[in-house]
Amino acid sequence: MYVALTFFGLLILGLPIGYVLGLAGVVGLLQLGGPEFLTMAPRRFFEGLDLFTFMAMPLFILAGEIMNRSGITSRLIDFANALVGYLRGGLAHSNMLASVLFSGMTGAAVSDAAAFGNTMVPAMEKQGYKRPFACAVTAAGSIIGPTIPPSNLMVIYGSLMGVSIAGLFAAGILPGLLIALLCMCLIAALGKRLGLPKKEGGPSLKLILTTFRSSLLAILMPAMILGAILSGVTTPTEAAALAVLYALVIGGVIYRTLRLRDLVEMLERTARITGVVFLIIAAASILGWWMTYVQLPQMVASSFLALTNNPEAIIGMILLLLLIVGLFMDINAALIILAPVLVPLTNAIGMDPIHAGIMIILTLNISLMTPPVGACLFVLSSVTGEKIERISAYLWPFLLVQVGVLEVVQLERTPR
């Protein structure tokens, strides 16, 4: 009770989530047996980060920063526009397709939202698209980043739950592509109703080949990362280091668009993003140890199973819980707190941990687009100056589509 009061009280007061998790965990330790239990706090704080696979996160973030700063984003957008730009709502289609290409480099939705908020949204607005709609398309495409590998959420989940990160990467490809395909179908369906612009003329084979050649090195990067991991040649951490080296060679040697000053700024930004995520992970490990000690996962599993033995109903309750939590909490913190609680429950109904992980991650990704704590909405609002409520008015059809993909994923992975 005291732990819950501390957690929600501090959260309502607006304290950063990392501090909320750590202080709630300390209260739980005091509740167990007094000051002597406090010695567990610093131990768990450091042991929570003592995983080799966590090194992949800052490396993937840095690789994405380098690719973005070196102009790779604009090259990918040009290639995507050459492929689908002639359709009605062509730039919206290009936005979604570019999100698929860019997702194989960053693994972070916020990075994608920031990159395309600065590039695609102004371009769409210039061609006659309403800015709230352009932001909604960008937000919908941004969650493809942490779904199609590499994905920082998959690294966290795999590290915490002892699940193959390579397996998670492989399992995330199809749902991510399905999201992109259905969102593009939605854009096509809304084309005439919203009066989306249509470029005159048809596809140009010459333009497609030219832009493909220009962006080929960038397109090869995801194939290199996944190929190295899935073939067993490298670990995810080693593949992330190779991605950084590859990005540096492309940006600094081949395209020659990187300067030393840019590298310093990118390292600083990577350190800030990584520091926030790692603080959440370390602090959550204190709370996680307390939950394990008091057998909270077992109690939650017993409570759910007491309500029903139907696997579909249990999975439905899990998804509803994740969507509600995602409305108010950072998804990294939500994953760290809830995965150890919910995965034993999915194990109890016979669900594979990799399938459960994809389901949980996809659900939390969707919450990146939902107010009041949708990180991608805040980023786009900050970058473009558009109000969150105006973006949300155009975003709800995309949310319905992505919830539909989530339903397909959970039905496909429900044990028979």
User: What does pLDDT average to over the chain?
Assistant: 81
Residues with Cβ < 8 Å from 92, sequence gap 6 or more? 124, 129, 133, 134, 137, 187, 196
Task: Express each pLDDT in 45-61 by its tens digit.
Answer: 887 777 777 777 788 77
The answer to whether residue 145 scores a pLDDT higher than 50 is yes
The helix (H) or strand (E) run that includes residue 177 is helix 165-194
- What DSSP designation does 369 have? G
Taking the C-alpha atoms of residue 182 and residue 142, their distance in angstroms, rounded to an integer, is: 14
pLDDT exceeds cutoff 50 at 415: no
Handedness of CA 330, 331, 336, 338 (dihedral sign): positive
What pLDDT does residue 185 have?
92
Q: 414 pLDDT exceeds 50?
A: no
CA end-to-end span of the chain:
38
350 backbone φψ class: left, alpha, beta (φ>0; ψ -120 to 50): left
Burial class (CB in 10 A: 0-12, 13-18, 19+), 320: exposed
- Angle between the 375-384 and 388-413 helix axes, to the nearest 10 degrees? 150
What are the residues facing 108 on neighbouring strands?
none
What does the pLDDT look like over 270-301, one tens digit per residue?
888 788 778 877 887 888 788 778 877 667 76
251 within 8 A of 67, measured Cβ to Cβ: yes
Give the residue with greater pLDDT, 66 vs 103. 66
**156-196 tens-digit pLDDT:** 898 888 888 888 988 888 898 999 999 999 999 988 888 88
